[in-house]
């Protein structure tokens, strides 16, 4: 389906319906940081749970990890982040707005990326300068592109006067915690190559421009899996994980026509292959997840910098080697933005606009809403509360007796609740309730005693 929703509609919907708020709003906001509200937290948790199920629960040889945000500073030297984790920055000389040069060039239809050297990107920038315009003030005079390091520094535990000589960083990606624990996992569990370590957690980056809502933020969550394998199996496993990860998004209800592959042409020297899965966001196709065949670069680097042998010894053949790695790296927030974009729909019902979030039930923040028909009829309220108390033991439910029933349905439609249960006067006679389907708006009478089983098969 071709999407019609624009990003401003999504942003205001998310605030109005308790999904996402700008950080520190009462202090005037805090750029490129967002907070997840009550329904947003549920949706994000459901996305993360779906990822965990897919990657850890259903794969016998993938185990989970929850490593710390802070790591030894040498981690980032070994990984290449201190030397190379930088985006090309330019400043408009007229209004002082800052931009990523690669993004400006891309928007003007010119190929460039953040991996290019300062000289390379400046040459392309200069050659095409007449095509570049400041989005803010429409000026055309920019400073030379300079590489700006994205790592976020902290002063953790550093009481010395010469700080920040040896700064500690907030992790820029979660996978480094996986590499640092590869040997611990190998030595303390029964995994054997090939095996994966999966982790969900926060990462921090000093992003230069962060204007696309939760698409690019300075604090965000990653869902990463590193698959350790025999060098000769890298291509085969890489293809397998590409398929698995593509299917994951279809299983979240994302239309295949809104997904596409992007092949990295400009590979870093150690990478064997690199593709991104891109989603058709309201602002166009952009990266959702990276799937990279990384060779043995990561473990070789940590082995060198930590002076520790990270070779794997095959217990049967006795063969020793540094495992190669296939990485799958997705953003939880980006996945949520894709899911919201896909699910958000506006329809006309009886001449009125209905906003409905057509989320798959497994992702819906609230699975079932329970209403008494009238708020001021104690028998109805008591009965509805009983139904609610039973259902909430199994599902995330909401009780609502506020406003007319039509408004209550609309409120649940907007937050994506697949089913509403209404207790009315007939219920008091025959112990049946109305079950309403969000998508079809059909209503069915169901015996209270059959609700639980019915929802087990529906949800």
Q: Work out how close the CB of 274 gets to ligand GAP at its nearest, in angstroms, rounded to a whole number.
A: 9
Binder of ligand GAP out of 90, 329, 412, 422 (CB under 6 A): 329
Q: Say whether residue 258 binds ligand GAP (CB under 6 A).
A: no
Q: Say whether residue 217 binds ligand GAP (CB under 6 A).
A: yes
Whole-angstrom distance, CA of residue 152 vs CA of residue 235: 34
Query: What kind and span of H or E run contains 12?
Result: helix 7-16
- 7, 80, 181, 197, 376 from 176: Cα distances, Å: 33, 11, 9, 11, 58
98-100 and 152-154: which strand pairing? unpaired
Binder of ligand GAP out of 40, 290, 295, 416 (CB under 6 A): 290
Q: Output the CA angle 413-365-207, nearest 5 degrees.
A: 110
Which sign does the torsion angle of CA 381, 382, 383, 387 carry? positive
Binder of ligand GAP out of 42, 102, 114, 207 (CB under 6 A): 207
DSSP 8-class letter at 108: T
Q: Work out how close the CB of 226 gets to ligand GAP at its nearest, in angstroms, rounded to a whole number.
A: 9
219/239 with CB nearer ligand GAP: 219
Whole-angstrom distance, CA of residue 258 vs CA of residue 1: 8
Whole-angstrom distance, CA of residue 378 vs CA of residue 28: 44
- 99, 128, 216 from 109: Cα distances, Å: 16, 10, 21
218/438 with CB nearer ligand GAP: 218
Q: Say whether residue 289 binds ligand GAP (CB under 6 A).
A: yes
Q: Say whether residue 197 binds ligand GAP (CB under 6 A).
A: no
- 89, 90, 103, 142, 311 from 99: Cα distances, Å: 6, 5, 8, 10, 42
Binding mask 224-253 for ligand GAP (x = CB under 6 A): x-----------------------------
134/175 with CB nearer ligand GAP: 175
CB neighbour class for 57 (10 Å; exposed up to 12, middle 13-18, buried from 19): exposed
- Judged by CB under 6 A, the number of residues near ligand GAP is 19
Asked if residue 321 lies in contact with residue 312, where contact means CB atoms within 8 angstroms, the answer is: yes
Binding mask 334-363 for ligand GAP (x = CB under 6 A): x-----------------------------
Q: Work out how close the CB of 391 gets to ligand GAP at its nearest, in angstroms, rounded to a whole number.
A: 35
Q: Say whether residue 438 binds ligand GAP (CB under 6 A).
A: no
Q: Say whether residue 175 binds ligand GAP (CB under 6 A).
A: yes
- Which of these, 118, 96, 97, 114, lies nearest to 106 by C-alpha position? 114
Please tell me whether residue 111 adopts helix, strand or coil conformation: coil
Stretch that binds ligand GAP, among 61-69, 153-161, 327-335, 422-430 (CB under 6 A): 327-335
Asked if residue 197 lies in contact with residue 51, where contact means CB atoms within 8 angstroms, the answer is: no
Stretch that binds ligand GAP, among 215-223, 242-250, 260-268, 403-411 (CB under 6 A): 215-223
Binder of ligand GAP out of 42, 102, 173, 237 (CB under 6 A): 173
Binder of ligand GAP out of 103, 205, 324, 436 (CB under 6 A): 205
Residues 12 to 31 in contact with ligand GAP, rule: CB under 6 A: none
User: Helix H segments across 109-262?
Assistant: 118-127, 175-188, 234-251
Stretch that binds ligand GAP, among 3-11, 216-224, 428-436, 451-459 (CB under 6 A): 216-224
Q: Output the CA angle 349-351-352, nearest 5 degrees.
A: 65
- End-to-end CA gap in the chain: 25
Residues 110 to 139 in contact with ligand GAP, rule: CB under 6 A: none
The tokens describing 113, both together, are 């990326």
Q: Which residue is nearest to ligand GAP (CB)?
A: 331
100/383 with CB nearer ligand GAP: 100
Binder of ligand GAP out of 196, 282, 295, 331 (CB under 6 A): 331
Binder of ligand GAP out of 88, 295, 323, 333 (CB under 6 A): 333
Q: Say whether residue 294 binds ligand GAP (CB under 6 A).
A: no
- Which of these, 351, 330, 350, 333, lies nearest to 341 by C-alpha position? 333
By the criterion CB under 6 A, which residues form the site for ligand GAP? Answer: 173, 175, 205, 207, 216-217, 220, 222, 224, 287-290, 327, 329-331, 333-334
């Amino acid at each position: 389906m071709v999407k019609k929703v624009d990003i401003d509609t999504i942003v205001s919907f998310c605030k109005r319906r308790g999904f996402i708020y700008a950080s520190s709003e009462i202090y005037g906001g805090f750029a490129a940081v967002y907070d997840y509200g009550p329904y947003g937290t549920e949706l994000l948790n459901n996305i993360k749970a779906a990822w965990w199920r897919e990657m850890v629960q259903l794969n016998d040889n993938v185990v989970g990890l929850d490593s710390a945000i802070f790591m030894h500073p040498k981690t980032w030297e070994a990984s290449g982040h201190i030397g190379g984790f930088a985006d090309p920055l330019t400043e408009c000389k007229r209004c002082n707005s800052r931009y990523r040069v690669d993004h400006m060039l891309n928007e003007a239809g010119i190929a460039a990326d953040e991996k290019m050297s300062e000289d390379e990107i400046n040459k392309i920038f200069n050659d095409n300068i007449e095509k570049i315009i400041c989005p803010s003030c429409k000026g055309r005079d920019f400073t030379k592109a300079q590489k700006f390091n994205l790592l976020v520094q902290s002063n953790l535990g550093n009481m010395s006067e010469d700080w920040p000589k040896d700064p500690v960083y907030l992790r820029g990606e979660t996978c480094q915690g996986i590499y640092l624990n590869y040997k611990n996992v190998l030595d303390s569990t029964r995994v054997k190559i090939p095996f994966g370590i999966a982790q969900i957690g926060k990462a921090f980056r000093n992003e230069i421009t962060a204007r696309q809502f939760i698409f690019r933020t300075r604090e965000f969550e990653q869902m990463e899996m590193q698959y350790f394998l025999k060098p000769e199996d890298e291509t085969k496993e890489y293809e397998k994980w590409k398929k698995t990860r593509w299917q994951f998004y279809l299983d979240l209800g994302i239309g295949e026509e809104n997904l596409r592959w992007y092949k990295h042409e400009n590979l870093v020297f150690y990478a064997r292959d690199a593709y991104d899965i891109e989603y058709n966001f309201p602002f166009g196709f952009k990266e959702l997840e990276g799937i990279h065949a990384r060779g043995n670069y990561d473990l070789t680097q940590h082995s060198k910098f930590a002076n520790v042998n990270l070779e794997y010894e095959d217990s049967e053949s006795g063969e020793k080697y540094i495992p190669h790695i296939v990485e799958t790296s997705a953003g939880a927030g980006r996945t949520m933005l894709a899911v919201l974009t896909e699910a958000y729909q506006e329809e006309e019902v009886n001449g009125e606009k209905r906003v409905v979030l057509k989320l798959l039930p497994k992702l819906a923040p609230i699975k079932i809403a329970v209403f008494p028909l009238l708020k001021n009829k104690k028998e109805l309220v008591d009965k509805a509360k009983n139904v609610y108390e039973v259902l909430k033991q199994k599902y995330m439910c909401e009780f609502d007796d506020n406003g007319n029933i039509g408004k209550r349905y609309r409120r649940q439609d907007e937050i994506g609740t697949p089913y509403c249960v209404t207790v009315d006067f007939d219920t008091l006679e025959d112990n049946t309730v109305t079950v309403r389907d969000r998508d079809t708006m059909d209503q069915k009478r169901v015996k209270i005693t059959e609700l639980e089983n019915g929802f087990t098969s529906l949800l």
